[in-house]
Structure 1
Amino acid sequence: MGSHITHRAAVLGSPIEHSKSPVLHNAGYVALGLDQWAYDRFECTEEMLEGIVSGVDESYRGFSVTMPAKFAALNFADVVTDRARAIGSANTLVRTDEGWRADNTDVDGIKGALGELLDGTSLNGKYAVVIGSGGTARPAIWTLIEAGVAHITVLNRSDRTSELQALFDATPTTLSYAPISAAPTNADVVISTVPSSAIAGHEQSLAIAPVLDVIYDPWPTPLVETTRAAGFPAVGGHVMLAHQSYGQFEQYTGKEAPRDAMRKALEESLSISD
């Protein structure tokens, strides 16, 4: 890119070599002719985040943060958005006049993916199933609560609903737990936030409604294939990944994200046609 680069952003996480964030953001720069922008990747554990972010020069305007550094990003920030604080982790750091601001655009990712999955159908008063209770489950739950779902059943190996309860306080949405082997038989939407191996053999009992599977590699996942075979729509994590990147792009650059160009570059890089 040469020496005319004056603005940078990067993705932080470990392992990082397979991250598709550079594909998304760099495609956005190209589409808008932002040839003074560049987007990199850094191997970054939780312990390394503070040193890396504190050590970069002024050209760095923002960082996308993946696991395992999302909790460190929240703790490091000078300013925290309400949604990042409620969810308890951050996937976005933006340089501002007040210092580094932490946000969580995973919410945008899940909201955008659900919008495509359900073709705009409202989830207000509906029933949802969330598989898993880790880093992506919390923004999924937050997004479902914001959408007005009546009840969320969390499927997990162990009951960790006490850790999630704070998200439900002061909302009308109710929460229950079930083991993966005892999935409910009716739901209006299912969001899986776990690796395909964690639900192997249970796909049939989980394919009871439209599915968002946050996994996208290899694609299609067994859960997505089973869901589509059962006659329900399903979308993968690449849709979520694209939607969470648009808000980051806009927070870093101050320009509207060229969504079509970014999405197309991502799907080409993954050889995904649906």
Structure 2
Amino acid sequence: MTIRAGVAGWPIAHSLSPVIHGAWIRAAGFDADYAAFGPESDDRFRDLIGQVRLGALRGLNVTAPWKEIALGLADEASDTARACGSANLLWQDKGVLRADSTDGHGLMAALAEQAPALEGMGRVAVVLGAGGAARAAVHALGQVFAEVRIINRTTQRAEALIAAVQPHTPARLVQNHAVTDAALIVNALSVPPELDMTALAPDAVLMDMTYRPLMTGFLRAGAARGHTVVDGLAMLIGQARPSFATLFGLATPDVDVRANALRVLGEQA
């Protein structure tokens, strides 16, 4: 019987998750299907989760705007999902609807792949933004860096993020606009950040969590100044790996899913 899973979000038409998971499914050679679901409303999203509870779907990756609701619908959630305040993975396990967040795993995997020389111990990371994506980034980086600074236009949102995440991370989390000593700058904003590149340390690594375009203006400006840059596609693939293992019970096959994703990005562009 075909194992059915997918990704839920709105809008969803341009999601690369089916491309990534589909390549792994074909390489593994087993009977499965991973599709994009586009529930436009809260009620339709809840109906879709009902299909997971019934076993019609093995599980779902979840993207905006349903990540917070996904966490609330779960019977049990991982410590990471609770710390992030959202879930990007829901699945049914012996009648129990479980939730997890693999976004932080994806971020750290992207850094390991594209900035392998980066060392966080005793150093500072800066996260631009204070939304849901920023919260997952702060939680993950807070396990590795000595201090994580949050820069956000609205001070109250940054302070709320710190209050929510600080109990779950050993790092010192602060609202601080200083970037001169940062080893890593992560853009978690949905708009291009306003950042003085001349203030950065020469060895600072720049990462953008978006992948449309793959080389954002932020990354292009950093690369032009000689900084190591990390793109959002590497993070997307990184978060997909543990999701695939959970949904299908298999390790990801050795296949170049990035090449597939880049091809589709080029076609969509």
TM over 0.5: yes
Structure 1 CA distance for aligned equivalents of residues 191 and 69 of structure 2: 27
Q: Find out whether 1:153 has 2:149 as its counterpart.
A: yes
Indicate how the Cα distance of structure 1 residues 252 and 65 shifts in structure 2: closer, same or farther if over 3 A, else same: same
Match of 2:220 among 215, 222, 225: 225
- Answer whether contact 1:6 1:59 (CA < 8 A) is retained: no
Find the counterpart in structure 2 of residue 65 from structure 1: 62
| Identity of matched residues, % | 33
Match of 1:176 among 174, 177, 180: 174
Find the counterpart in structure 1 of residue 137 from structure 2: 140
- Answer whether contact 1:31 1:261 (CA < 8 A) is retained: no
**CA offset digits 1:105-135 (Å, max 9, x no partner):** 1011111011123315431111011000111
How far does residue 259 in structure 1 lie from its aligned partner after superposition?
Answer: 5.1
Structure 2 CA distance for aligned equivalents of residues 194 and 94 of structure 1: 28
Q: SS of the counterpart of 2:255?
A: helix
Q: SS of the counterpart of 2:182?
A: coil
Find the counterpart in structure 1 of residue 237 from structure 2: 242
- Answer whether contact 1:117 1:211 (CA < 8 A) is retained: no
Find the counterpart in structure 2 of residue 17 from structure 1: 13
Aligned residues: 261
How far does residue 31 in structure 1 lie from its aligned partner after superposition?
Answer: 0.6
Find the counterpart in structure 2 of residue 79 from structure 1: 76
Indicate how the Cα distance of structure 1 residues 205 and 133 shifts in structure 2: closer, same or farther if over 3 A, else same: farther
Indicate how the Cα distance of structure 1 residues 118 and 79 shifts in structure 2: closer, same or farther if over 3 A, else same: same
Structure 2 CA distance for aligned equivalents of residues 11 and 254 of structure 1: 17
- Answer whether contact 1:196 1:221 (CA < 8 A) is retained: no
Q: Map 1:1-274 onto structure 2 (within 5 A).
A: 6-34=2-30, 36-44=31-39, 45-55=41-51, 58-147=55-144, 149-159=145-155, 160-164=157-161, 165-169=163-167, 171-178=169-176, 182-197=177-192, 199=193, 201-202=194-195, 204=197, 208=201, 209-258=204-253, 260-271=255-266
**CA offset digits 1:252-271 (Å, max 9, x no partner):** 11100125333332222224
TM-score, normalising length from structure 1? 0.88
- Answer whether contact 2:6 2:36 (CA < 8 A) is retained: yes
- Answer whether contact 2:115 2:229 (CA < 8 A) is retained: no
Alpha-carbon RMSD: 2.0
Q: Which moved more, 1:46-55 or 1:21-30?
A: 46-55
How far does residue 101 in structure 1 lie from its aligned partner after superposition?
Answer: 0.7
Structure 1 CA distance for aligned equivalents of residues 254 and 99 of structure 2: 22
